A and B are shown apart, each in its own frame.
Chain A
Amino acid sequence: MILLFLQLFWTFFLIGLFGFGGGYAMISMIQGEVVGHYHWMTMGQFTDIVAVSQSTPGPIGINSATYVGYTSLVNAGYEPCWGILGSFIATFAVVLPSFILMLLVSKFLLKHRNDPAVESVFSGLRPAVVGLILAAALLLMNSENFSSMSENPWRFCLSILLFCFAFIGQKVYRLGPILIIMLCGLAGIILGL
């Protein structure tokens, strides 16, 4: 268990340290480490965590760190009280690097923001972060989240429909994410997905 705590701390410390580009870029990193590398949970469970993180108060990065910390411990077969400790460690670890860095770097960055070296580092980072978020979305398009044509055609087609609804609803009609999530969840219950 101590190993799991140490791994959680180290993983979320790294995510906090290299988490450029906001919550969605962090989701990509959490996905890579927690699902891809350590197999602490399945892609489906991870998607549920993202859904809850999006529709509860607070920054998505904090929400998902808290939730992943809890779920990793409980999935490994430990009692919920250890899960609470896990979520504390993950949240603390994800904030710690930015806390130290912000205190040190804020002065430096304010002074050197137009420095060409700093500028060129960010000119490489910005486009890569866009790719990071794209990868997160692509990785979530799997049979666990959408089902598949051979496994369950009804659920597969409905999932595609709900995907299109959410995409157009937000992009064209500017519906809020919570409203979209609630409507799709209700549709899931009514249509028996």
Chain B
Amino acid sequence: MFELFKTFFQIGLFTIGGGYAMIPLIEQKVVDEKHWVDHDELLDLIAVAQSCPGIFAVNISIFIGNKRMGNKGALASAVGTCMPSFLCILVIALVFQQFRENVYVEHFFRGIRPAVVALILLPVFRMAKSANINRYNVWIPLVAAFLIWMLGVSPIFVVLVAGVSGYIYGKYLKEDFFNS
């Protein structure tokens, strides 16, 4: 169990830039070194972890931990994945609060802010490709964005409506619209 914790602690510590950056590291540690799952299994696992809500990397670790040692293993892996983030951010938050008023820190973050906006905008195009966005369904993301951006609708509500309408659409309107 400590082995699970340690492995996922390392994975959490050495990935920067979010869940998808973790896949190569998980592959190397969990598949090639430890042989806890094989390559095909990992692919299925990635698909399942993506289709479940929550944090992608944590979902994967829960899944592998559960497969190895049941509920306890899942807990150990999940805590292992979250721990490095939690500790790093706490240290930064405690320190940043004190340096906030510093002129250079302020300039630094003023330079960073526009870049952050660009870095959030970029996954839109990546995800549009993998979500099969085409000229027939491009209105869905646009309407969703408009509702949140201009009308202040909660994103949680948008996700709920999208899931329910997808279900209704698939069930009652048999026309194969989304996959066209």
A193 to B113 CA separation, bound complex (whole angstroms): 11
B167 to chain A, nearest CB (A): 5
A27 to B140 CA separation, bound complex (whole angstroms): 19
A13 to B178 CA separation, bound complex (whole angstroms): 30
Binding site for A on B (CB under 8 A): 12-20, 22, 44, 47-59, 62-63, 66, 71, 74-75, 78, 81-82, 84-86, 88-90, 92-94, 96-97, 104, 107-125, 127-128, 131-133, 137-138, 140-149, 152, 154-156, 158-167, 169-171, 178-179
Q: How large is the interface on A (under 10, 10 to 19, 20 to 34, 35 or more residues)?
A: 35 or more
A105 to B54 CA separation, bound complex (whole angstroms): 13
Mark out the residues of chain A between 138 and 193 whose CB falls within 8 Å of any chain B CB in the assembled complex.
Answer: 138-141, 145-146, 155, 159-160, 162-167, 170-171, 176-178, 180-181, 184-189, 191-193
A103 to B50 CA separation, bound complex (whole angstroms): 15
Q: Which of B12, B15, B49, B109 has the most CB of A within 10 A?
A: B109
Q: Which residues of chain A are near B75, meaning CB under 8 Å?
A: 99
Q: Which residue of A lies closest to B62 (CB)?
A: A102
Binding site for B on A (CB under 8 A): 14-29, 31-33, 36-37, 44, 47-48, 50-63, 66-67, 70-71, 74, 80, 83-84, 87-88, 91, 94-95, 97-99, 101-103, 105-106, 109-110, 113, 116-117, 119-141, 145-146, 155, 159-160, 162-167, 170-171, 176-178, 180-181, 184-189, 191-193
Q: Which of A140, A155, A164 has the most CB of B within 10 A?
A: A140
B115 and A180 contact, CB distance less than 8 A: yes
A62 to B137 CA separation, bound complex (whole angstroms): 31
Complex partner residue of B118 from A58, A130, A170, CB under 8 angstroms: A170
B85 and A58 contact, CB distance less than 8 A: yes
A12 to B124 CA separation, bound complex (whole angstroms): 23
B86 and A20 contact, CB distance less than 8 A: no
B114 and A159 contact, CB distance less than 8 A: yes
A110 to B41 CA separation, bound complex (whole angstroms): 11
A186 to B107 CA separation, bound complex (whole angstroms): 8
Complex partner residue of A192 from B63, B107, B113, B115, CB under 8 angstroms: B107
